[in-house]
Homo-oligomer: A and B are copies of this chain.
Amino acid sequence: MGSSVSSGSTLPPQWAGRSFGKRSQPISGQSTGRVWGVERWLVRRLLSVIGNPPIALVLWDGEAIGHAAPKARVKIRDRRTFWQLLSNVYLHFGDAFSDGRIEVEGDLLEFLEIIYGAEDAQPRNRLAAALADWRSKPRANTLGGSRSHIYHHYDIGDDFYRLWLDREMVYTCAFFPSPAVSLEEAQAAKLELVCRKLWLKPGETVVEAGCGWGALALYMARHYGVTVKAYNVSHEQIRTARQRAKAEGLEARVEFIEDDYRAIRGRFDVFASVGMLEHVGADHYRQLGEVIHGCLRPGGRGILHTIGRDYPGCLNAWIERRIFPGAYAPSLREIMQVLEPRSFSVLDVENLRLHYALTLQHWHERFEAVAPRVEAMFDAAFVRAWRLYLVGSLAAFRTGSLQLFQVLFARHGCNEIPWTRQRLLAE
């Protein structure tokens, strides 16, 4: 299968211009004179604010400030980077890490867990939180905006994702019946779990909003005898999904449509959305609820599988800016803004947070194993950015900064629902 991406030259504009040009190689020894007293004071103050965790900062003159026996040493190469960090720590940390202007000596995961943990342990300052949220407010997901945001992440090339995702190319949280099972098995188990929760019956119709490379839609048709219409705005993903349907002889039962969830037409027994709500944006939850209301038959049911949070707040600014533009991880209360206005009845919510941590651990290991090939495809900065994104997400799920909710719902008052979850999940 072809891919439009074979070198760094086809990076999306937000990346190519900012952090991944050939100019952004690690800058070795590029110090900018003596470190001022006020800079040392600011580092100490910053470390104190986040509770003096076991880390040290090494400034461009080589002096280490912070914990005496640090678990990680963060090297900041120049004055400009230092002052950028003070202006917007999350955004500039990510950019400087990708550029090589910041290096982390020690275990990157442990370092990021310390940071997430320290952040969570702080009493929440409402003003500071509001300011931080305003700065990292996700971009609007208008129809045009959503398309460009999705191109940004998902159209950088199937070949890249194929290097380190599982065989079925499922780019959402897996479900590990036991922590020891392989990623391949865990992704298959997740597809099966979603189908069981939805108690699919042969001949039923399903609409999927945000179908990735089509793994769930194909699984449903293959194993449950349903007909699926699957939507996605990513051109590359839809093309691959269609090829897969054809190769399996499932084109008659799985239709892949290159369009936005707001373009869904028709009436279906089941609505499924796995890993799309993150891209919808909180301003559009009510609209999504209307889409579901409009396309679900009486007696219909659905599932929303999404990254979430224990309390409302924006994603890390760097992730939102460089990795997932327009993305937002909702709290459970916010998710209800999709379902409550049309009185959908929540039947079941499951939090698979630790399963996403384990999924990311697998992805990161597989990514590191192919890092030289990724660097050849793009450049070293791209590899560092993806390393930070994967390890940072792993840290976020391990510390509880992010959650993973599967929310099963049905039409209000529908009594044709499984009697118990025990029956639903039994072999």
Contact = CB atoms under 8 A, between A and B. Distances in A.
Interface of A: 117, 120, 175-179, 310-312, 331-333, 336-337, 340-341, 343-351, 353-354, 398-401, 403, 405, 412-415, 417, 419-422, 425
Contacts of A414: 400
A123 to B, nearest CB: 11
B332 A413 contact: no
Contacts of A422: 177, 425
A425 B423 CA distance: 11
A27 to B, nearest CB: 36
A259 to B, nearest CB: 29
Contact of A421 (B117, B336, B350): B350
Contacts of A425: 421-422
A53 to B, nearest CB: 15
A120 B350 contact: no
Contacts of A347: 350-351
B340 A351 contact: no
A292 to B, nearest CB: 14
A317 to B, nearest CB: 20
Given A348-B349, A354-B415, 4 more contacts: A176-B419, A333-B340, A345-B400, A346-B351
Nearest to A121: B413
A412 B177 contact: no
Contacts of A120: 343, 412-413
A419 B179 contact: yes
Nearest to A426: B422
B420 A177 contact: yes
Nearest to A403: B345
26 contacts: A117-B413, A120-B343, A120-B412, A175-B420, A176-B419, A177-B420, A177-B422, A179-B419, A310-B340, A331-B336, A332-B340, A332-B346, A345-B353, A345-B400, A345-B403, A347-B350, A347-B351, A348-B351, A350-B421, A354-B417, A398-B415, A400-B412, A400-B414, A400-B415, A401-B413, A422-B425
B351 A345 contact: yes
B331 A340 contact: yes
A348 B345 contact: no
Contacts of A412: 120, 310, 400
Contacts of A346: 310, 332, 349, 351, 403, 405
A175 B353 CA distance: 27
A351 B348 CA distance: 6
A120, A344, A349: residue with the most chain B Cβ atoms closer than 10 Å: A349
Contact of A333 (B175, B333, B403): B333
Contacts of A179: 419
B420 A400 contact: no
A349 B414 CA distance: 18
Most chain B beta-carbon contacts within 10 A, residue among A177, A340, A399: A340
A403 B345 CA distance: 8
Nearest to A400: B413
